[in-house]
Amino acid sequence: MCTRKAALRFILVLLSLLLVLKFNVATEIEDELEELLAVDEEVEREADGGGEKLSEAEVLSKAQRIVIELNNDNTERVVNGNEFVLVLGYAPWCPRSAELMPHFAEAATSLRELRIPIVMAKLDADRYPKPASFLGVKGFPTLLLFVNGTSQPYSGGFTADDIVIWTRKKTGTPVIRISSVVEAEKFLRKYQKFVVGQFDKFEGTDYEEFVSAAKSDNEIQFVEVNQVELAKVLYPAIKPTGRFLGIVKSEPERYTAYGASVFDGAFTMNKILEFVDYNKFPLVTTLTEMNSDKVYASPVKLQVLVFANIDDFKILLDPLQDVARTFKSKIMFIYVAIDDENLAKPFLTLFGLEESKNPVIAAFNNGMSSKYLLESKPTQSNIENFCNNLVQGSLSPYFKSQPIPDNTEASVHVIVGKTFDDEILSSKKDVLLEVFTPWCINCETISKQVEKLAKHYKGSSNLMFARIDASANEHPNLQVNDYPTLLLYRADDKANPIKLSTKSGLKELAASINKYLKVKNVKDEL
């Protein structure tokens, strides 16, 4: 009997201790945050009382102090001890981490002012690999939202406003409701891009579809009103109807109404999201590291990219915007700084224009992996014709080519993209074509063999030897992925070239040529 009482007493003490520990964990986190903010609130009071206004650096410093620093000791405690935790996993040496850090800190300040119940935390995942593994941080930077200890990936934008909007939606506030003109004016000063919905009542099927769309969208703030007077503050051109939906952006094409485009019809979540996806970008979007994923994921498959320095782009901007209005929702127009090694060079290389300093206007059909190039002067008229042909599908795809060479004295002719038709496909001769790239390790050996073969068959009038640099030249009928490649085009069957082995010796290659061709006047010995 005494033993049983002692055991019960022990269990009660243990349960009490666990409850105290849990309470202390939550209290400790709250106290930690309050201590970090105490100095800032004092400074704010002094500023409000007539003191000097906080500098930009001081504001950033304050914001950064709101964000909890995770480490080996506190990571599990913070993540498991709060309902909502947004974690930034970063590395000090990562440029994108450095770019995101101030936006994350600014978002933390805004979320606190909005009284959103979320803990903002960051982890130097390079310094603390163990908690990084626990959280699931695999790259830099990584944003993860933990809801009661369970993570979900971040899928919003990367400015402070983007982070705030996404976080509010995921923590239970997908739509902001406005009830007065003062609130509407305050909202308008804060948000540069938003979706506004007007409803007679905040109920019914249409309203439910609107809220569902707001929850599903990860980027744009949705706002709702039930009075035309309030809606007009946000969207002045609104018509006095019982239901309205529109998107507002801070650019020349500022207002777009649902139903005023190709999206006439059912008022459903999917249609609303489609409308937003097709209209959320500016007339001309500037491509950056931060927005590149969103731009590439656009449902608008036709994209016109303008590569230029900033001064040339300023000259092109007005005519580009005029053209963009004409092709809105059909073509996405994107500006890329021409000297950007990461964003511009990969595209320009596809056209063989990586060294270009002048403006380049190119187009892509992402649905078909086709590319096009405006080869005339970039005037408004030429750009508009280029886009019109792109939409109609009558624009010829672009295949890059080096300048046409002089092959008068060459034993092995140099073929480029522009001469492939005439010298290979339309030629009445048999052609042995060597396909190479400058970075190919084994290409030099094959090139020497082709030179010797050309000399051996020099007296033949019906066989030509040629080579093409596949890194700088393209043709729709030349689809080669391995280098070097040897292709034998017979005069009577140019559509079906024969692939010869590049591992064969000189005599074996000659034997293969003799097997497929009737070569005349061969004199030199190999």
Residues involved in catalysis: 94, 440, 443
- With beta carbons less than 8 A apart as the criterion, state whether 131 and 70 touch: yes
How far is it, in rounded angstroms, from Cα 306 to Cα 224? 37
The secondary structure of residue 419, as a DSSP letter, is G
Kindly tell me the burial class for residue 206, based on how many C-beta atoms sit within 10 Å of its own C-beta (0-12, 13-18, 19 or more).
middle
List the alpha helices (DSSP H) in 67-117.
Answer: 75-80, 95-113
* Strand pairing class (331-337; 493-500): unpaired
The reply to whether omega before 153 is within 30° of 0 (cis) is: no
Q: What are phi and psi of 194, to 5 degrees?
A: -165, 165
Q: Which helix (H) or strand (E) holds 86?
A: strand 84-90
225 contact partners, CB below 8 Å, separation of at least 6 = 177, 178, 184, 196, 197, 198, 199, 231, 234
Give the chain's end-to-end CA distance (angstroms, integer): 107
Encode 145-196 in three state secondary structure.
EEECCEEEECCCCCCHHHHHHHHHHHCCCCEEECCCHHHHHHHHHHCCCEEE
